Structure formats: structure tokens, C-alpha cells
A and B are shown apart, each in its own frame.
Chain A
């Protein structure tokens, strides 16, 4: 009977594609908006994503997120290093600094200032340095005045110019020379990300009494990260979080304290309701228009259960087709925007979790739509075929 259900469903192509695109539209809205939301939230933790070597991030006990830096005195580093179970602990500077594009750039020789995210990595171990170089070598960061800049940031500071090393940036009246161009995840503020050694970062940063933003810690082998975090928390007045916990700690800050999730939640919700309304109504009307056919089948000896099975099969087909189309369109959207170099959506994609959520939402849409239709068919009197 599934074959019959399929033929009934696809017999009128216009209606069939109308239902499929209703589901696809809902699926597209849900998955695309949810993916942008996830992408934005990931951007708030972009530095954490880029720095994967440490197990633990240590910050001031009142620190609320990655961007709200409460600098600590350097002595804290030695305090943490002295805790049992710490394999190594290194400094990390992170802050926003103003940069002036030096006059060796033809495009930006007007002395314009820009804001950049400055990351100062441990001088000795280079823990915290970018892992994927686009141009230059990792070792070059040790060169005097040497800085790395992320590719997207380079293109922002030097638009329409080829990637090349040797350009200069001025920060805090000091000169930094671009000796490497690297890949970095897009940050929330979309500022360029500049990497340098910690000792040099303290020169580029505005003077403050304390400059230590974070302490990155590696747990000794055999020591549970959670245990070490507890030890650091107990032994110091600092806050120690595993990399994963810090990632979520940061994201939850934005979820709780900004309107971003509400706005995206509304859009995702609207996507669900619009998708449900379009698909539900079209599917319901499709069933209503086919009531005579269903009644005919009922009179000819098709049981209610088989009719329900036929409707569920039809719902499954439009659900799968619509979902596949919607997810396909969402993925295509991100692939195209990424390929076009669009900075606003750089690095965004459809995570598998969003696909699962969209699948659940589409299932709910299709189930709602089919329940209305099933009810109509179940109460159908077979004698109506003679009317």
C-alpha cells in the first residue's frame, strides 16, 4: 500500500512540491538560524578553540568570560606551578589594543587606527601560538618585533592586497613586523587577531600594573583534570576551569547576559511555526482533497490502520525530502558564503547537533501535520463514497 500512498502523494506534482518545500523552508530556517547562533556563540570562545594544548585555564576568581580580563600579578604563575599535579603552567596575555597600519601599506597609509585582539604566548614554549600557518614559519615569532596576524585580519587591514610578510603595524607606539600569517577561528568582535611573544605583548599593550590575563596549565599524566582544577581553586584565590568547562562557561555568559539567544530563539521558533503552518496546512489540505479517494479505499476494504500507515508514509516521504532539501540549502548557504570570503559568516557551518535538532523539529512538524490528516480519515464514513 506504500506504493499506492506514494502514487497518491506524487500524483499532483504541484501539491507534492508545495508540501515538500513547506517542510524544507521550516527546516532551512531552523537549521540556518540555529547554525548562525551556534557559530556566533563559538566565536565568543574562538581563542579557547584555537589554543588546545593546555588542560586548564586559570583566571581571576571574578572573571566572567574570555573578554573580561582581570589581570593578575605574575606571581600567580609561580603559585600555580607549585601545585602538586601541574606538569607545566605558562602565561597568556589577551587583550584589545589599538593598531595603526604603518605607512608601508598603500591602501591604508592614512594612519587609520584599528582595534585588534592581541594574544601574547609563552616566550619559551610558544604554548598558545597558532597551529596552522598560511604564510611564514612558527619559529619566526621569536624574531625581534615579530608578530603573526590571522589571514582574515590581514585582509581587513590590507584590503585587496596580496598576502605578504614584512609589513608593519604600530601598537602603543611600538613597531611590530608581520612575520607570519596564520589561520585563526573568527572572533566574536571580528577584529584581527595578532599573536606575539608574551614579553613583547606587554610592550604592545597599554601600561598596567598587572598584565597576566590567563595561566595555561597542563596536568601531569595520571592526574585527573577535574581534581587538579579543584586543587588550584582550593590552594589559590584563582578560578581554574578545564578547557571544555571554560569554553561553556564563556558561552553561557553570553547566553545569559545578551539578547542573542532570545533573538535567534525567536527566529528559530518562527521557522518552526511557519514551517509547521505551511507544511501542516498543505498536507492537511492534500488529505482533505483526497478524502474521496481515502473513502473509496475504505469502502473497498482498506482498514483504518492501513490508511493511517499510508498517511504516515506520505508524511515520512515529505518529511525526509523537505528535511534533506532544507539542510542541503542551509549547508549550501554556508559553503557559498565561506567560499565568497564573506567575513560576517566566516567559519560558520551546520553542526551535527543542529541537524539533529532540525530533524526533531521537522519530525514534530510532520507529526502535527499528519495527526490532523489522520483524524480526518479515521472519522471518515466509507458510505460517503455514494454521496
Chain B
């Protein structure tokens, strides 16, 4: 199935120069393997991710979306090209500095939620604060407040296994936000959910995460959620095909 994206405004050029950029990619390439097994996953990516917006990264399977967000989240080194993360050159972020940078600035929402099964919802949400050495009681208290914000105030002591998929994803969103990151990276947050739950999760993401000073990147296959994005970068075969801005997107499949 192939998706065609249309924008109400059809603004293909970046007209928001005043918006500060959380991520800037210039000529980014990424290769895996060597010799005959070498695979070029990214072929010269140029992309700006502004703050205060939700940027959707879309494209078919194998087009390089996951590789690109891994680089933008500081989890993977590019083979070539320049990447700036929150104003810092990616090449300057190495070792423990990079680890701390991720802990302080980046929140993650995963397709399969990746909650720790042995922890309650509140304890799961508290994990980023524990990583930042916040006292456990304080961390759990703040986690409970965060769960209230995502509508799960009554589930703070529930283990992930007793929560529905949608609820688990909301816990994951609360976890991604609890330490107030400046960059939120969401990988297929609706892929494991039905249409209704997916829309609710996207609405929640839209309502709770998009704010001045924070950039939100969402990788998605799900064209039903395109309407929630402010900007859509479309990828094919390791390239960015086009970037649509202005919001009010609709999707048509054929």
C-alpha cells in the first residue's frame, strides 16, 4: 500500500525561519556492513526539525525512518554529514556526555511501549527521574502527577500487564515527558493500537507534548494520524522526498 500526502496549505517550502530548530541534518548518510553486504540506509538527508511543532516522519518500510530517528535521538552515529541536536554538534557528543545528553534532553515513546513489566505504572514513569538521580519517593510522586495529566491517575499502582495497549502507551508518554525533555522521539506510537486508541494516543501526544521549546518527532506508517502533525517529512529509499508544512493534513490511500 502506498500513501499519498496532501496538505491543505501546500506549503512545501520552509516559511518559518523564526522557529528555532531542535534538529538539523545536513547531508546525513548511514551505511551498514562492508563490501558486498554494505547497505546504504540513508543517502544524504537534509532535514530541519523545529521546536514547538510535531514533525511526522513517514514512508514505506525499509526507507530509513528508524535509522534517521536513531541518529536524531543520539542513538546512532551517522556515517557522514552533519547533525545538530538542540544546538550542539553531534560530533561533540561522545561517551558519557552523549549518555547524559540523552538522559537530560530526550524522551522516547516506543511502538511496543517498552515498559518494565516488574514496575507499576508510576514506577515506570519515574524511571527517567531515577536515571537523573532524583530521590525515589520524589520521583514516584512526580510520576503520579504526570500520570494524572495523561488521564491515568487511577492506574498509578497497576502493573503494565493489567493495562490495555492504549493505557500502556499513555504510561509510556507520561514516562517520556516526566523529565521535561526538549526533544521527544516517538517510534510508531499507534502501530500496536486499534484506530480509536491510536487517535486518542495521538491526540494526547498533540495536547501534552507540543509546546514552545520542545520538538516532537513521530515516525509513523499510520496515515490516519497525519492530521495531528504540523510538518510531514516523507521518505523513500533513504531520501527525504518532500517536507510538507502548515498542518491540516489529510491522507488518501490507493
Interface Cβ pair total, 8 Å cutoff:
74
Complex Cα gap A299–B73 (Å): 9
Residues 303-327 of A, flagged 1 when their CB comes within 8 A of B and 0 if not, give 1000000000000000000000000
- B110 & A301 in contact (Cβ 8 Å cutoff): no
Given contacts A1-B130, A383-B76, contact A302 B114 (CB under 8 A): no
- A383 & B70 in contact (Cβ 8 Å cutoff): yes
Residues from chain B with a CB closer than 8 A to the CB of A382 are 75
Residue A162 is within 8 A (CB to CB) of chain B in the complex? no
Shortest distance in angstroms between A74's beta carbon and chain B's nearest beta carbon? 78
The one of B66, B102, B114 that contacts A293, using a Cβ cutoff of 8 Å: B114
Nearest to A296 among chain B residues (CB) is B114
Among B117-125, B162-170, B225-233, B244-252, the one that faces the other chain is B117-125
Residue A10 is within 8 A (CB to CB) of chain B in the complex? yes
Residues from chain A with a CB closer than 8 A to the CB of B187 are 385-386
The one of A7, A293, A301, A383 that contacts B131, using a Cβ cutoff of 8 Å: A301
- B70 & A386 in contact (Cβ 8 Å cutoff): yes
- B66 & A387 in contact (Cβ 8 Å cutoff): yes
Residues from chain B with a CB closer than 8 A to the CB of A3 are 130, 136
Residue B91 is within 8 A (CB to CB) of chain A in the complex? no
Given contacts A3-B136, A8-B118, contact A385 B108 (CB under 8 A): yes
List A residues 366-387 near B (Cβ within 8 Å).
381-383, 385-387
- B103 & A11 in contact (Cβ 8 Å cutoff): no
Residues from chain B with a CB closer than 8 A to the CB of A8 are 116, 118
Most buried by A among B75, B101, B187: B75
Residue B237 is within 8 A (CB to CB) of chain A in the complex? no
Residue A61 is within 8 A (CB to CB) of chain B in the complex? no
The one of A11, A297, A302, A383 that contacts B117, using a Cβ cutoff of 8 Å: A11
Q: How large is the interface on B (under 10, 10 to 19, 20 to 34, 35 or more residues)?
A: 20 to 34
- A297 & B127 in contact (Cβ 8 Å cutoff): yes
Nearest to A292 among chain B residues (CB) is B114
Most buried by A among B99, B102, B117, B132: B99
The one of A293, A301, A381 that contacts B116, using a Cβ cutoff of 8 Å: A293
List A residues 181-220 near B (Cβ within 8 Å).
none
- B75 & A300 in contact (Cβ 8 Å cutoff): no
Residue B100 is within 8 A (CB to CB) of chain A in the complex? yes
Residue A4 is within 8 A (CB to CB) of chain B in the complex? yes
Nearest to B111 among chain A residues (CB) is A386
- B69 & A297 in contact (Cβ 8 Å cutoff): no
Complex Cα gap A387–B127 (Å): 21
Complex Cα gap A384–B131 (Å): 19
Residues from chain A with a CB closer than 8 A to the CB of B73 are 299
- A302 & B118 in contact (Cβ 8 Å cutoff): no
Complex Cα gap A12–B128 (Å): 22
Shortest distance in angstroms between A258's beta carbon and chain B's nearest beta carbon? 52
Residue B82 is within 8 A (CB to CB) of chain A in the complex? no
- B110 & A385 in contact (Cβ 8 Å cutoff): yes
Complex Cα gap A297–B100 (Å): 12
Nearest to B73 among chain A residues (CB) is A299
- A7 & B118 in contact (Cβ 8 Å cutoff): yes
Residues from chain A with a CB closer than 8 A to the CB of B70 are 383, 386
Most buried by B among A292, A297, A381, A385: A385
- B118 & A10 in contact (Cβ 8 Å cutoff): yes
- B76 & A302 in contact (Cβ 8 Å cutoff): no
Shortest distance in angstroms between A3's beta carbon and chain B's nearest beta carbon? 6
Residue B253 is within 8 A (CB to CB) of chain A in the complex? no
Given contacts A300-B127, A301-B131, A303-B96, contact A11 B104 (CB under 8 A): no
Given contacts A7-B116, A11-B117, A293-B116, contact A383 B75 (CB under 8 A): yes
- A302 & B99 in contact (Cβ 8 Å cutoff): yes
- A301 & B114 in contact (Cβ 8 Å cutoff): no
Residues from chain A with a CB closer than 8 A to the CB of B76 are 381, 383
Nearest to B103 among chain A residues (CB) is A301
List A residues 130-156 near B (Cβ within 8 Å).
none
- B130 & A4 in contact (Cβ 8 Å cutoff): yes
Most buried by A among B76, B108, B136: B108
Residues from chain A with a CB closer than 8 A to the CB of B111 are 386
A-B pairs with beta carbons under 8 Å apart, 12 shown? A3-B130, A3-B136, A4-B130, A293-B114, A296-B108, A296-B110, A300-B102, A300-B108, A301-B99, A301-B102, A301-B103, A385-B75
| Residues of B near any A CB (own CB < 8 A) | 66, 69-70, 73, 75-76, 96, 99-104, 106, 108, 110-111, 114, 116-119, 123, 127-128, 130-132, 136, 187
| Residues of A near any B CB (own CB < 8 A) | 1, 3-4, 7-8, 10-12, 292-293, 296-297, 299-303, 381-383, 385-387
